[in-house]
Each structure stands twice: as structure tokens, then as C-alpha cells.
Structure 1
């Protein structure tokens, strides 16, 4: 049985997350969605879509989709969805506007039950073009939402105007220069392929990391102090040392390291290992076999706040087989 793709929608209060959610539901008529809403108590789903209530936590929508509230642990909600026997082939999760989506993402890369049934597709962040500058100065969670996302939609560009929209786009690129950025009005982007991009797929991570080498030394500090770095080495790493270092590094820096992606060349393993982490949670996936004559390299991208690049590079150097 194929896994169910999961798209997480994030963004600060009022950015247009629910408008995007409704837009996606109507734009993909062939998909049977299950929707999890953090703020379901406000009945965010268009009332016209609600057909009946299956139980106190699950609404059935007129197009055959279902919606439920995240009023329990994510594991419990997902288990109830699976056991409900409702047929759905894509899960949409709208996070609360004041939440860092990292904890939700972490569940999908570490929990055995969730990993068996679901596969992360992408994180889409809505940014209010008119109010984003003021929010970025006051709300650090918005910076995290932007930094951790794969796709960013700059919404309400009609109200913000060309000059302000361009300025906030430049600021977003400083925070996250790796995401796909698109402008829109009423949370309706021109791009019709928001879903099924599978940014978390090992092959996509491989492409992502390969595309960063040319930009690895590009300075991208902002007033928000979000930075990225790319570490490379053609010397194999010690698997046990790397695991211990990553565990300690992420736990010690859990408030400042937002995301890690990498391709690992480990001693004694003839396949590349695809590394991903969100906050303190780590996922390692076995990738393609290293071909004979192929250059084997470690390539690790770290995205976070106030990165001490020299110290991190020195630490990673110590993990190499001497």
C-alpha cells in the first residue's frame, strides 16, 4: 500500500492559510483529502462545504473529503483517521498561526506508525505582504515558519503594492533562499502544482543539496540572523561518531537549528545516506549505490539562527575517518 502524502500549511495569523486550504480543496477535484485543522473551533472550513458531522471531531465535506480538529496528540488524530476507514489519498494540515510547524514535521520523520502510513510532501508558508515587515520585527515564529518551508506564497500583494511586495520578497529570500517563492492574491497562486512536490523525498533532497554548492559561501545574514551553511568533504565519516554528534548538537541547539539536509559518505557503507532533521528529530534514508569511479562526498546543509560556522565545520571535520 502506498503512503499518504502530507502537505503542511503554515503562516502567521491572518496570512491566508484557510483561504489556501479551501482553494486546494476546490482545485484538486480528483483528490480525496483529509484535513486537520489546529483552529477548528473557529469553523474555518467554508460552511458550504460541510455536509454532516461524523462525530464530534470529524466533519464530512460535500466533496467527499473529511476534516478533523487537532485537539489531541497528532498520533491519536492520525490513528483515528486511519481507523475511520474513510478513503483519502492526501492529508492537509493547517497549523495554528502562532505555532512553529517543526513539532508536527518531526512526528512524520520519527514516529514508526506515522512513517508507515504517511509521507511528508512539503511545507507551504503563507506570508501577508502588507503586514510581514512589522510582524518579522516582533514575531520570531514567523521567521521560523519561513525558514522551515519548501514553498512560500506571498499573499495579499494587491493590498501591499508592487514596491512593498518586492521588498518583502527580498527579505524572505534572505531568510530562506532555497524555497520556491510565488506571489498571489486571495491565496490563489498561479502555480497549479503546489501538491505532490515531495520536497522531503530523498531524491529531491539529493537535488537540493547538489544545487547549493555554488551558493554555499554566499552571505545571507539578516536582522533575523537566519543563516545557512554547506559543509563538504570527500573523506568518509564515522557513522557512530556522526550519530552521537548530531544527537548532542541538535539537542543543545534545538532553539537555533531549524533544519538539516545532507548526503552522507559513511565508512563501510556502499550507498549514499540521505539525512534530514527538523529541530531535534533526525531521519536517515538509504539512497543510491555509489558508482565505481564516482566522487564520494559528504554534503551537509544546515539552516538556523546565529550559526557558528567555524565551530560547526571543525566539529564535522573531527567526524572524518583519519
Structure 2
């Protein structure tokens, strides 16, 4: 019988946004004991003094708290597969979760699709969340200039505003407005001097952690684009919107619609999250997708509030809302249900 899938956290962020400093503070913490952390350059984190042992090929190091640090060799999927194989053979401690640091120019969507879609890793990993670091001082300019930075923010489940000690409250508020425009509902956590509790980066896509997000609504863009921040906040290539359905829906038709949308337009659907009220289901169902990949639905024990409507939030790049709405309507109609979306 196959063992349970291992939770996977992706740590991403643009060049110079403080991922290495953050990892330096995170890795020794007890919360990351029994965690395997895949790092771009093992020697760059500066924690050699905490290594209690290293593998013969010096690609894996064990920290005092039980955390495993692994440098990327060749391809990322091969590195993770090798870690899992060594774990099975008992060559390294039996870690219970994986955290992966991406390069500063990586687009998180393809990384997740590559890992969770790899045949050798099928069913062995489960996305626990995407955490993005944003430089509090230079982040607004990077968002304006670099598409990679915008995508990293748009797909995040949690945003860490690093180097917050270097800016004043007004500058931080301007940056938060820009982040709100790109990714409504993602919690934003100011980080000063790299100090943060590792537990804030774990167990993100769980029923308890999802509930605040499910109550969030996309912020009206016109409310965000005002004053001196307008030029920095407006990113016309990325948009977010929600669709709401008041009646119970056929789950299979709904899933098919999302699968088709991600299959044909996955490169432009950066993230989709939602909660559904489905015919024949006594509990609400949470679903989320990252570009081409739709993850296994999660059934909650109860609704997070009195609103039992089906609600989806899409974050898209260069894709009209009408394309998504018409596709969902088509598959619902094929199942004999006429349902119009509102928001």
C-alpha cells in the first residue's frame, strides 16, 4: 500500500528578495525538524556550523534539529525523487515534509506542475502552499518591471514582505496595495531582519488555514489605483475576479470544466481557488489549481460561514473572464444545469 503523500511547500521570490537570509533563520527552528529542504546552493546558506553530518557526495547535510538540507543536482524532480528513494532505503532520516527554494527568476506554476506531474513522483507529494518573498524596499519597482516577479506574487498562498525594517509605514502600505491588486486574500506578513516563525509557512492548505482566504474577496481595482501608488499598482496583464453560483452544482461537470480550462489555458490561469456546494455532497468541497494542475479536492467538515454558495477566485494573465465563465456554463448545461455566475 502506498504511503500518504508528503506535504510540499514552495519558497519563491525575486532575485535579492531575501530567501537565503530567511532560510538561514528558518532552518534551525524546531518546526523544520523532520523536514527536507531543497536549496539551490547548499553552501550559500552559511549554516555549516550546524551540520552534524553530510552524505558521501556532500549533497545532503543533517542539521542539529533533524532538518535535512539538500542541494539541487541536475534537475529538481530527479533531486526530489532521489531524496524519497534514500528515505525509503533508510539512508537518511524519515522526513515528513519537503520545502523547496526556487531560483529568483523561476515561475512557480511550471515548477509545481513539473514536480506533481512527474511520473516518478505521482501520488507521493501534496502541495501544502506557495510562499513568496517580496523585497519591501524594491518590490514595487520589481513588480512593475519583471513579469516573473508578478507571477511569483500572483500564485502565492502567503506573502512575506522581507526587509520591512528598511522602509517606512507609507512605503510598506503602497507595496501592500500593489500586492492586494495582484493577489487578493493572500496573507501578507512583514519580516524584519529575516526573523519569522517557521510554523507560519507550514500547513497552509488545510481547512483551518483556508477559511480566512475563503472569506476574502478580490479588491475592486479602482479602489487600489489612486494617488501616487497608481502607476505601481496597475498591472494590466494580471487580473483577479470571482465567480459565485447560488445553486448546488454537479461536481463532475464542474471538475471537468476546470480541468479543460487548465488544460487549454493553464499558462494564463496562474491560480484558482474555491469552495463548492455540490449536488449529493453533504460537506463543502475546496479545490485549487496552479496553472495546468488541478489538485485533489478537499472536503471540509463544515462551511466556514453561513454563505453556502459556490465561490471561485481566479488570478489570470491575459485571459478574459468571459472565456472562463462561458466554459463553466457550457459543461454545467451539458449536465442539465442552467446556472449563471455572479460576483
Distance change >3 Å, CA 134–CA 61, structure 1 → 2: same
Partner deviation per Cα, 1:264-311 (whole Å, 9 max, x = no partner): 3444555544321100111232525899xx986322221123452344
1 CA distance for matches of 2:257 and 2:11? Answer: 31
Which region of structure 1 is more displaced relative to structure 2, 307-316 or 169-178? 307-316
Among 275, 279, 286, the alignment partner of 2:291 is: 279
Normalised TM-score (structure 2): 0.78
Deviation at 1:260, TM superposition (A): 0.8
Partner deviation per Cα, 1:6-64 (whole Å, 9 max, x = no partner): 32211111111011112111232671331101x22763343323444314362323414
Normalised TM-score (structure 1): 0.82
Note if 1:143 corresponds to 2:143: no
Among 193, 207, 210, the alignment partner of 2:199 is: 193
Among 304, 312, 316, the alignment partner of 1:300 is: 312
Deviation at 1:102, TM superposition (A): 1.6
Number of residue pairs matched by the alignment:
314
2 CA distance for matches of 1:245 and 1:132? Answer: 35
Question: Do 1:8 and 1:122's aligned partners in 2 also have CA atoms closer than 8 Å?
Answer: yes
Q: Secondary structure at the match of 2:201?
A: coil
| Partner residue in 1 for 2:186 | 179
Note if 1:71 corresponds to 2:73: yes
| Partner residue in 2 for 1:223 | 234
Among 7, 13, 20, the alignment partner of 1:5 is: 7
2 CA distance for matches of 1:8 and 1:30? Answer: 14
Note if 1:249 corresponds to 2:261: yes
Question: Do 1:260 and 1:276's aligned partners in 2 also have CA atoms closer than 8 Å?
Answer: yes
Distance change >3 Å, CA 12–CA 3, structure 1 → 2: same
Q: In proportion to residue count, which structure has more strand? A: 1
- Structure 1 alignment gaps of length 5 or more: none
**1:123-142 map, 5 Å:** 123-142=130-149
| Partner residue in 2 for 1:14 | 16
